[in-house]
Structure 1
């Protein structure tokens, strides 16, 4: 099966769970259950639900860049369908076999050869209509378009969403912020620069105006606004 070498910078543990949740705008408790699993009550006592995303080192609570991409895609799958992670895992295992990849959510063939297969399988599992499957397909495509890939088809850059998502309104959101594991230790930066969004947000919090920051960095106002959204966004877990 296709995969990425364990010594590839994209596969190395780098992001804490709170960091990843913040960058991807996902509740921390939700993300934690995806990567660490969770207990759930049954009539026979507590059971443990296995995680759907595999961390690079199970002894650490740190995610890799590839994990960020997997969660970015998984968020599209579960955003409008509050269903069990068990069914999500079944669908992921199905497409893993179909695409012959250990990392199907981060692999280009999901976008090309596997998208319709995945949507059909997942749609049957959660019993959604054809119209619902079309919505799911559009959501997945919107998320997949925000991933740049290397020549082997694996993710190398991610353009995270920075705005509140309502339905499909976020689909054409600008790609002003990028997460690239080779730049600024994989923290979000303005596209085409090494300027960390965290520094821009700190200066804004200290009272500097957006226009002044745009002039100082020689960047469009829109990019400065997106950097601030990226860093100052909070969401209840």
Structure 2
């Protein structure tokens, strides 16, 4: 692996890590609403959460550019208040990756929350535990495998994100050129096949490892429910 390839890999990992770090909290909140609450518009919320999976990634990327670009309402506000710029920056790549990975975070967390025995939460309440204490001592530990599985799958998705990222933040070496974008750029060059092949192998190994970890966590979850 060359220095440039190592830089691309490290940038991809950084982008994916921060994407999941920021998206995990909102994903858990949405999963909780879908799993534990009945409200008007629930089906619509589920549809909105699923949109990044079914929309063309370019459409998602364009939407992010309109909203979070330098002239976008949210982008201008974030830059003014917090000095945070998304357009053509690695932070924008992380935002795009987080949006695309969001549905893969929500679904396993929702399923794990639905699988939690409400009787255990009620028992904790009868023993004097507040709802907050019951959540941290009963609900969250039981739902943790689903949270981990969602985070791992989301991380793998963020590592491989392409369409929304290149539309939103372009393909800038050293700034936004993640693994997928680098492979795309190399395949456009007649001399880039060998380097592209190395990055493709790395991408496959990372994705395979993430899926295996997710499956292992899912099996542990099933065994825990049967025990």
The answer, yes or no, to whether TM exceeds 0.5 is no
Report which of the two structures shows the higher radius of gyration computed on alpha carbons. 2
Higher strand share: 1
TM-score interval, normalised by the smaller of the two chains: under 0.3
Task: Calculate the TM-score normalised by the size of structure 1.
Answer: 0.26
Higher helix share: 2
Say which structure, 1 or 2, has more relative contact order (CA 8 Å, 6+ apart): 2
Task: Calculate the TM-score normalised by the size of structure 2.
Answer: 0.27
